[in-house]
C-alpha cells in the first residue's frame, strides 16, 4: 500500500484524564452550601410578588430565571470540578451582590417589612454565600484549586 504524500499526518488524540488530589472537606462543604443556596434562591423566587399579567411576561420571567439559575448551577458544578476561574467568578459575583444589597438596603427593608419571609430567605442566602466564600478562600481550598491537573 502506498502512502499518500498529501494526506494529513495521523496521530492518536485524546484529552488527558484530569486527576486532582482528593477534594478538601472545605470545598466539599462549600459546594453543598452552594447547591443549598441555589435551591433557596429558586424557592425565594416564588415568594416574590410578580407583576406579570400577560402570558408573554410569565414566559420571560421563567426564561430569565431559568437562565440565571442554570448559569449559577453551571458555575457550582465547575467549582466542584476544581476550576479556579469558577471559584474566582463566584467570589466576584458574591462581592458584587453584597455591595448591591447594601446599596438598595433601604428599599429592601421596606419590602422585607411587608414580606418578612423574603427578608429571612435573603439573609440566610447572604450568610450561606459569605460562609462559602470563606471556605473557598481557606488554605486547603486554595491549594486544591491551584493544583495543576495531573
What is residue 54's DSSP assignment? S
Q: Is the pLDDT of residue 91 over 70?
A: yes
Mean pLDDT (the chain) is: 84
Is the pLDDT at 112 greater than 80? The verdict is: no
Place of cell 491551584: 146
Q: Higher model confidence: residue 123 or residue 57?
A: 123
Angle at 27 (CA atoms; ends 21, 28), nearest 5 degrees: 90
Residue 145: closest CA among 136, 19, 34, 35 = 136
Residue 111 confidence class, pLDDT cut points 50, 70, 90 = confident
Higher pLDDT, 2 or 67: 67
Contact 138, 29 (CB under 8 A): no
User: Which three cell numbers, joined as nine digits, stand for 29?
Assistant: 462543604
- DSSP labels, 89-129: HHHHHHHHHHHHHHHTHHHHHHHHHH-HHHHHHHHHHHHHH
Which residues fall within 8 angstroms of residue 6, CB to CB, at 6 or more apart? Answer: none
Query: Would you say 118 and 47 are in contact if contact means Cβ atoms under 8 Å apart?
Result: yes
How confident is the model over 132-145, as pLDDT tens digits? 999 999 999 999 99
Its pTM stands at 0.75
What radius of gyration do the chain's Cα atoms show?
Answer: 22
Rounded distance between C-alpha atoms, residue 73 and residue 67, angstroms: 10
Higher pLDDT, 113 or 19: 113
For residues 92-116, average pLDDT: 82
Whole-angstrom CA distances from 134 to 32, 46, 114, 126 are: 14, 29, 32, 12
* pLDDT at 16 exceeding the cut of 60: no
Amino acid at each position: 500500500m502506498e502512502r499518500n504524500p498529501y494526506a494529513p499526518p495521523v496521530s492518536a488524540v485524546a484529552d488527558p484524564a484530569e486527576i486532582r488530589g482528593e477534594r478538601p472537606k472545605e470545598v466539599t462543604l462549600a459546594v453543598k452550601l452552594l447547591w443549598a443556596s441555589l435551591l433557596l434562591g429558586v424557592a425565594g423566587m416564588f415568594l416574590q410578588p410578580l407583576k406579570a399579567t400577560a402570558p408573554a411576561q410569565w414566559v420571560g420571567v421563567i426564561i430569565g430565571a431559568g437562565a440565571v439559575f442554570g448559569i449559577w448551577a453551571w458555575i457550582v458544578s465547575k467549582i466542584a470540578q476544581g476550576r479556579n476561574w469558577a471559584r474566582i467568578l463566584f467570589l466576584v459575583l458574591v462581592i458584587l451582590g453584597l455591595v448591591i444589597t447594601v446599596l438598595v438596603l433601604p428599599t429592601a427593608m421596606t419590602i422585607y417589612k411587608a414580606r418578612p419571609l423574603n427578608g429571612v430567605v435573603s439573609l440566610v442566602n447572604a450568610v450561606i454565600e459569605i460562609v462559602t466564600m470563606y471556605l473557598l478562600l481557606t488554605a486547603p481550598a486554595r491549594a486544591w484549586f491551584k493544583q495543576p491537573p495531573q
